[in-house]
Structure 1
Amino acid sequence: MKLIKGLVAAALMALPLPAMADLADILESGTVKIAIPESFPPFGALGPSGEYEGYDVDVAKLIAEDLGVELELVPVTSKQRIPFLETDRVDLVIATMGANPGRAKSIWFSAAYAPFYSGAFASGDKEISSPADLVGMKVGLTGGTLEDLELTKLVPEGVEIVRFGDNAATQSAFLSGQVDVLVSGNTLAAAISESNPDMGLQTKFILKESPAFIGVKKGNFDLLQWVNVFILHKKLGGELNTISETWLGQPLPALPTF
């Protein structure tokens, strides 16, 4: 019986292990492959120069710089993020990915590196810090969205919610002054702020937090540890704050860690 067990163990040890690009493998290869959003500005999208740009792209560039390796950007759709990581087509996923128990069955997550949330946005001259402060104002949002559901539960009487068919119509209404306050995801607010810097758009309050995390393949413990140290280092050094100011038009808020 012992002989059989020994033969089985030896046979298992002889089987080739699945290829996993942990930290040492990336350093040896001289290249890190990072998935970024294919078309989700301001986090990742093709810019006027024909190169990908955005929040996630800047974070990916910083990672490659700190690793001292070349960067290979791999644009992905939302559905491709986890499969590309599991099949070693990428080493990391930096693509506005939220962490949840379902996804955590398949991959590991770093500490949060970017804010992603729904909130209320308005010019700096409006004193708003909670849904109660919206009384007497017109609030524009896209009907049927998460923002619509969340805000409807919270606002008191006297708040006029104006619902539009899509984000483009909501944005147009806000820019034209049809509504006083915009309720949307922070990406739409960032796009408006970038195109209209004189507006002085500010985050007034947050409806729902959904920060973004970096995805790491299960088993790549050294790489996960390195990424967490990287995020901490860039928070303390101000680099992530600079990226947030550049692409989201706001300082980096407090972000969760594990």
Structure 2
Amino acid sequence: MRLIQRLLVAAAAIAVLSGPASAQDSDADKTWTEVRIGTEGAYPPFNFINAAGEVEGFDVDIAKALCAQMKVTCTFVTSDWDGIIPALQNGRFDAIVASMSITPERSEQVLFTNKYYNTPGAIAVPKDSELTEATPQSLAGKTIGAQGGTTHAQAAEAYFPDADVRVYPTAEEYKLDIENGRVDAVTDDIVVLTDWLKSDAGACCKLLTQLPVKEEIYGPGLGIALRKGNDKLKAMFDEAIVAIRENGEYKKVQDKYFDFDVYGE
């Protein structure tokens, strides 16, 4: 009996250790009929949890449109931002649709589709702030809040080297800190900040300026992340992105959230 138990434990351990690799190895030849989509659920208006406890937003609706175009079933899984890439690699879901910028650092870990939108970063400050511009000199010694593990945090450190850049697990937390006077400014996607500033929670603050768009920081846009080697699913998504741009489905989703073309040039 003990020998059998030991064999079962050993087999379970091997299965755990080989799980992510097996998931990755099987991607290449898989026939996709269902795609599990990972998203954060805490980044409105791109992805958030509604009053009914369901995930929604631009990312979610675009994912649904892409899945419909690919003729596959979509299911959604929420994940904390700082663990979303490991969760993908470990097979918890098959694709990340969560406003993830395509960067060289991330491309070492995941396979990206072509972009599905591209909007710039921006800076917001309290309404009574004395700041009138966002320059290295004006923000020297100031505190800037940003969500950790994002290109916006990286941009703040690159553009404002003498500022104190404070990173937070979620966007909601830096918003609370600027509302309560604990930081001098915050940075994020201009759409995210504008959406927040229109809400009651954002009544504290105002948009200061859009930040320069440098591809070496922000990448060429925001893409869907897949496990390495999953070229078949990448091709499916890339073709579907082109198709929904051409057949009007992309514009239908976009117009639900924005009054401008978020795809970019």
TM-score, length-scaled by structure 2: 0.60
Secondary structure class of the residue paired with 2:102: coil
Pairing partner for 1:215 from 221, 225, 230: 225
Stretches of 4+ aligned residues off by more than 6 angstroms: 147-153, 201-204
Which residues of 2 match residues 1-258 of structure 1 at below 5 A? 18-19=22-23, 20-22=26-28, 24-27=30-33, 31-119=34-122, 143=144, 166-168=174-176, 184-186=187-189, 187-193=192-198, 205-208=210-213, 210=218, 211-255=221-265
Q: How far has the Cα of 1:57 moved from its partner?
A: 0.9
Q: How far has the Cα of 1:32 moved from its partner?
A: 1.3
In structure 1, distance between residues paired with 2:158 and 2:260:
23
Per-residue CA distance 1:91-110 (angstroms, 9 max, x = gap): 11111212222222222111
* Structure index of larger Rg: 1
Given that residues 119 and 208 in structure 1 are in contact (C-alpha distance below 8 angstroms), is that contact kept between their aligned partners in structure 2?
Answer: no
| Count of residue pairs the alignment pairs up | 203
Per-residue CA distance 1:95-130 (angstroms, 9 max, x = gap): 121222222222211111123431368xxxxxxxx9
Aligned to 2:7: none
In structure 2, distance between residues paired with 1:101 and 1:150:
16
Per-residue CA distance 1:175-225 (angstroms, 9 max, x = gap): xxxxxxx984231212334669xxxx9997443463321011112212111
TM-score, length-scaled by structure 1: 0.61
Secondary structure class of the residue paired with 2:82: helix
Structure-2 change in CA distance of 1:236 and 1:202 (3 Å): farther
In structure 1, distance between residues paired with 2:236 and 2:68:
13
Given that residues 142 and 166 in structure 1 are in contact (C-alpha distance below 8 angstroms), is that contact kept between their aligned partners in structure 2?
Answer: no
Q: How far has the Cα of 1:65 moved from its partner?
A: 1.5
In structure 2, distance between residues paired with 1:149 and 1:102:
16
In structure 2, distance between residues paired with 1:58 and 1:109:
19
Given that residues 27 and 229 in structure 2 are in contact (C-alpha distance below 8 angstroms), is that contact kept between their aligned partners in structure 1?
Answer: no
Per-residue CA distance 1:24-63 (angstroms, 9 max, x = gap): 4222xxx211101132222212101221111111122112
Q: C-alpha root-mean-square deviation of aligned residues, in Å?
A: 4.1
Secondary structure class of the residue paired with 1:25: coil
Q: Which runs of 5+ in 2 are unaligned?
A: 1-20, 125-132, 136-141, 147-152, 162-172
